[in-house]
Amino acid sequence: MLKQVTAPEHVIALALDGKLTGEGIQDYRGILDDKLQQHAQLGVYVDLTRLTDMSANALIEVSTCGPFPRIAKRMPGHGSRPSRLNDTPAQLT
């Protein structure tokens, strides 16, 4: 199950509990679309500590489109490497 948790408006914060399904991925994409209409840049936080399994449908959803397809399309040059939540650009070593 995918559950949205409290976070600042410019952050998508999710907790995954139990089994992730294709519906969970679609729910996430709906949240992402809503946030992208409100903010030019987003942070993403995902708590995976209680994730136990992933359905075949979820695997197909993620593998065909990726988890962040709309971010990469809307923010050219930012889809290849995520930024940290403190808005400091990631340093390549």
pTM of the model: 0.62
In the block, tokens 């040059």 appear at 77
Distance CA 46, CA 60 (A): 19
pLDDT per residue rounded down to tens, the chain (93 residues)? 889 999 999 999 999 899 888 888 888 888 888 888 998 888 888 888 998 888 877 877 766 655 555 444 444 444 445 554 444 554 544
Domains and CATH numbers, the chain: 2-74 (3.30.750.24)
Distance CA 32, CA 3 (A): 13
Q: Which phi and psi (to 5°) does residue 58 adopt?
A: -65, -40
The 10 Å Cβ neighbour count of residue 13 is: 17
Contact 1, 33 (CB under 8 A): no
Distance CA 82, CA 53 (A): 25
